[in-house]
Structure 1
Amino acid sequence: MFQIGDKVLYPMQGVGVIENIEEKEVLGIKKLYYTLNMPQNNLQIMIPIEKAEALGIRQIIKPDILETILTDFHHGNTDPIIYEDRRYCRNVNKNKMKTGDIYKEIEIIRDLMRKSQKNKLGLEDTNMLKSARRMFISEIMQVKGIAQDQADHLLDEVLLAQ
């Protein structure tokens, strides 16, 4: 269970801060909810506590893990099918994104960048890459305590260092 003030990643949305934990009655059923403030999207979201794990909500990563991820960003193989089959690529990446797993998020960015070097990305791939970057950048910002343009620049440097 998270606490008020915890910084968490909400898949497909980015990093948010738990501002409140409160009981609400919806359709006659009382449940505990997290209230997340999503500053990057200027949103406030309420999530039932019992669904948080299933939704992939997790604590943001620790600074040492971020450094390891940035250092090892280009390690790993890309599934060759993503170069040929757009539907497969879309489904694999959508499933990875929904998990909230930082390593899956990195695979999306890494693999779509590799794909973009071979072929021009289609609209779905471009949008997926933007979403994965946005989520990762929101986490970099919180972990390092830096502004969005600095986090963007840091990721771009890592991507160019192939």
Structure 2
Amino acid sequence: MSKSGLDFKVGDAVVYPAHGVGKVIAVETQEIAGMALEVYVITFDHEKMTLRVPTKKAVSAGLRSLAGETVVTKALTTLKGRARIKRTMWSRRAQEYEAKINSGDLVSIAEVVRDLHRADNQPEQSYSERQLYESALDRMAREVAAIERIDREAAVALLNKSLIKPAAAAA
């Protein structure tokens, strides 16, 4: 077990807040500035990126295991809730949404998806709204897909089913 309290092994799926779901491909010791430093080597296939996170800094960097069943259930329940859109300027709300997406917290990401989701009968989204919505939906879908062991498209379908239910119930 590393001193951080986290003990990921090669092959473990992990979540890094700013990049979403990745896979630990190695735990290496590298020499940096004359000091030996143990790092998790994590790949993110969808971004074609490799990240090295010092094992001692993993917790403070926000690295975590995939969400548990209770968190996923809470996130899906959040999607079914009513959108909460503040009457503040879009630039301020966009910053808040971006912060929630990059927090890596599945329930916070679900709030962004819920708040920015547009049903077919609703007005068109602006470009920036659509970008944030798709970013949040993608981040959430990748984690749900990894947890449920399904592909991303099946996860998106599952999330969309949760989003559409309240509209059908209200009609």
Class of the TM-score when normalised by the shorter of the 2 chains: 0.7 to 0.9
Q: Work out whether residues 82 and 114 of structure 2, in 8 Å CA contact, stay in contact via their aligned partners in 1.
A: no
Select which of 137, 142, 164 maps to 1:138.
Answer: 142
Matched, 1:20 2:26: yes
Contact 1:115 1:121 survives alignment (8 Å): no
State whether structure 2 residue 94 is matched by structure 1 residue 90. Answer: yes
Q: Which residue of 1 aligns with 2:169?
A: none
**8 A contact 1:6–1:17 mirrored in 2:** yes
Which runs of no fewer than 5 residues in structure 1 stay unpaired?
none
Q: CA RMSD in A?
A: 2.5
Kept after mapping to 2: 8 A contact 1:63/1:144: no
**In structure 1, C-alpha distance between the alignment counterparts of 2:121 and 2:129, rounded to whole Å:** 13
Deviation at 1:87, TM superposition (A): 1.0
**Is contact 2:18–2:103 with CA below 8 Å preserved after alignment?**
no
CA 85–36 in structure 1, closer or farther in 2 if over 3 Å, else same: same
User: How big is the shift at 1:64?
Assistant: 4.2
- Mapped contact 2:37–2:54 kept (Cα < 8 A): yes
1:147 to partner: Cα distance: 1.2
For this pair of structures, how many residues does the alignment match?
Answer: 160
Matches within 5 A, 1:102-117: 102-113=106-117
**Deviation string, structure 1 residues 28-60 (Cα, Å, up to 9, x no partner):** 333221111223333322122233223322111
Counterpart selection for 2:65 from 51, 59, 65: 59
Structure 1: which 4+ aligned runs deviate by more than 3 Å?
114-120
Report the alpha carbon displacement of residue 106 of structure 1 after superposing the two structures with TM: 0.8
TM-score (ref. length: structure 2): 0.80
Moved more, 69-78 or 85-94: 69-78
Indicate if the aligned counterparts of 2:76 and 2:110 stay in contact, CA closer than 8 A.
no
Report the secondary structure of 1:156's partner residue: helix
For each residue in 1:76-133, what CA deviation from the matched residue of structure 2 results, as whole angstroms up to 9, or x when unmatched? 661423xx51111111112212221111111111111169976533332222211111
Single out whichever of 130-139 and 114-123 deviates more from structure 2.
Answer: 114-123
For residue 12 of structure 1, give the secondary structure of its aligned residue in structure 2. Answer: coil
The residue identity in structure 1 corresponding to 2:112 is I
Structure 2 residues not aligned, in runs of 5+: 1-5, 167-171
* Secondary structure, counterpart of 2:124 in structure 1: coil
Between the aligned partners of 1:133 and 1:50, the Cα distance in structure 2 is 31
